[in-house]
Amino acid sequence: MLLILAIVQNQDAGGLLDSLIARDYRATRIQTVGGFLQEGNATVLAVIENRQLADALGIIQANCHTRQHHVNAIPALSEASMLTTPYPIEVEVGGATVFVFDVVRLERI
Ligand code: 2BA
């Protein structure tokens, strides 16, 4: 058994959950916040059989899309420049950041 932990964008989380459930996977969505952007994202947990890994990753890939986000960065202070005016930078977020763990045991008690 494997635990898939997928960090996805909020816009993609509902469709991903629907697609997983439609294919008979069990899944849980947790509201989370990304450390860099400090924006809400979603973490989806699903325990699957090892043979289902490729299928489950395919469902994640089909539902999670890459998007550009803009964030204001503050330049580092240097001797040459005392400017601290924030400037916009663009970062590419997603589709999904996926971690796969071995599961020793699953109990429903
Ligand atoms: P955030 O930490 O808010 O990061 C959002 C996006 O900002 C990242 O997209 C990446 O493109 C960029 N980014 C992150 N840290 C950066 C840095 N130090 N310098 C420059 N750009 C940076 P993704 O890589 O697609 O990550 C999306 C979200 O997935 C992250 O949101 C975080 O919540 C999670 N994540 C990504 N990698 C992770 C990891 N190794 N461990 C734990 N969570 C991770």
For 41-70, the DSSP string reads EEEEEEEE-GGGHHHHHHHHHHH---EEEE
Residue 17, classed as helix, strand or coil, is helix
Per-residue tens of pLDDT for the chain, all 109 residues: 999 999 999 999 999 999 999 999 999 999 999 999 999 999 999 999 999 999 999 999 999 999 999 888 877 766 556 667 888 899 999 999 999 999 999 999 9
Atom of ligand 1 nearest to the CA of 91: 11
CA distances from 97 to 34, 48, 100 (A): 11, 17, 10
Q: Residue 101 C-alpha to ligand 1 middle, in angstroms? A: 19
Provide the pLDDT for residue 74. 79
The vertex-29 CA angle with 9 and 90, nearest 5°, equals 15
In this structure, the residues whose C-beta lies within 6 A of any atom of ligand 1 are: 7, 34-37, 41, 91-94, 97
CA nearest ligand 1 atom 8, residue = 93
Q: Residue 25 C-alpha to ligand 1 middle, in angstroms? A: 26
